[in-house]
Amino acid sequence: MSFVSPLFLWYFMPAVLIAVLVCPRTWRNGIIAVGSLLFYTIGAGAFVFLLLGCMVVNFLAGPLLAPDPFDINGARRRKILIAVVSLDVTVLLIWKYAGFATQQIAAVAHWFGGSVPVASLVVPIGISFYTFHHISYVVDIYRGERQALRNPVSFAAYIAMFPQLVAGPIVRYREIADQLPQLRSHRLDDLAAGFPRFALGLCKKTIIADSLSPLVEACFKVPPDQMTFATAWLGAIGYTLQLFFDFSGYSDMAIGLGRMLGFRLPENFARPYSSVTITEFWRRWHMSLSRWFRDYVYIPLGGNRNGAAHTYRNLCIVFVLTGFWHGAQWTFLVWGCYHGALLVIERRFGLDLDPAVRWKRYLRRALTMLLVVFGWVFFRSPDLGHALSMIGHMLIPDFDGLGAGVEEAFTNQRLVLLLAALAVFLLPAHPVTGPLLESSRSKPATALRIGVMTVGLLYAAILIATGTFSPFLYYQF
């Protein structure tokens, strides 16, 4: 079930919010847990049992991982942690990567005249996200940063919470543990603060991202031998904008929903396209993923504590994993390695520092955006050959214009929306629109709230009613 489907917007979400609003506050976690499992079952079917199985294992392991004052059972706790994390990772590897791995094995076997069957598994929606939530839960308990949950309902509310279950933000246990006790009292205030944020995300998704989707699809469908300079750049820039408004729109909707339910979920975007360096870009893009890899991979590997060589190695490991986390394709691995290499280059030559001179900042910002756009071509392309061909056409100007299929998709409406969306490249780094809309009482914020919840929400509702919405891009991850 998608956040932009009529079933969710007109039935499921109102039912859950009304139940949380009118029922005793001690029922909140139970309502969220039951509603979230129903939400997941509607979208994933029988895969809900895989989610439930992982939840049972991690919940039962939690109390066994808690350190005692003298850590007498440290070795036993370490073994339990390794076993549980290994199980979580194995489930992810099997369901998400078994098909890719067997394809590579089959290709090698074919070279030697043999044959190997290729596994064909349907990837359960949200598996990458709830696996990371489980790992965060057991690791934070093992480190003694938070207490294990003894109430299975509260645990289910955290893991299966429908605003963040399918596509994040990735909520580390330490960020939400103190919110799980059902002490919420200002329910109407939370509803009033969260709904404009949800509406902003809905407008981003339906009005901009979904409108650009057919244009981007048409550009990336052009065969490499028919690709042109104009088509390649239009597709790359269009996808850069589509992905941002789609994913940041989802995050705004998730954060707004969480706030309406009484939770403050972590921010996931902070004007990433205003970044001056790639290092800054990763502090602003999908921030919950960056924080997760920092806390559970980069720092345990040693971070930047053991010299430059180890720091570069750790960065490369993190971004190889970041690439493959997004999907079992070589394009994602290349995209991850590309960003890892850019981060290493910035650190090696001191380019990760924000230049003080204004004109240098403008140049660095333009260069950073250019590098990000090239990276998104790998991220979106169906295979490496297509990505390299498209980048080649972006680097070699020609005067062939757009193909017939692209011209047909490039309507006047999409041209206007594309030009409007391009403003995101020019906006200052602060303030970030989502938090401003949610909490600020300034006149600009009030005017924005009114505009989003009247004109924007009405237009979004019309688009949804006509069935022009599409699935969120990050649902596939």
List, by residue number, the catalytic residues: 326
Distance CA(132)–CA(294), nearest Å, equals 13
Q: Residue 387's Cα: distance from chain center in Å? A: 22
Distance CA(393)–CA(219), nearest Å, equals 12
Distance CA(49)–CA(335), nearest Å, equals 33
Number of H helices, E strands in the chain: 24, 0
Q: Where are the alpha helices (DSSP H) in 23-167?
A: 28-44, 48-65, 74-92, 98-111, 127-142, 152-160, 162-165
The b/e string for 128-151 (b: 16+ C-beta within 10 A; e otherwise) is: bbbbbbbbbbbbbbbeeebebbee
Within 10 angstroms of residue 406's Cβ, the number of other Cβ atoms is 23
Distance CA(116)–CA(10), nearest Å, equals 48
**Tokens read off for 459:** 């237009």
Q: Residue 114's Cα: distance from chain center in Å? A: 39
Q: Are 189 and 245 in contact (CB under 8 A)?
A: no
Single-letter amino acid, residue 192: A
Distance CA(379)–CA(384), nearest Å, equals 10
Distance CA(429)–CA(62), nearest Å, equals 40
For residue 20, with 0-12 CB atoms within 10 Å meaning exposed, 13-18 middle and 19 or more buried, which class applies? Answer: buried
Sequence-distant (6+) residues with CB within 8 A of 170 are 129, 132, 133, 136, 164, 288, 289, 291, 292
Within 10 angstroms of residue 296's Cβ, the number of other Cβ atoms is 17
For residue 13, with 0-12 CB atoms within 10 Å meaning exposed, 13-18 middle and 19 or more buried, which class applies? Answer: buried
Tokens 């990276």 sit at which residue? 375
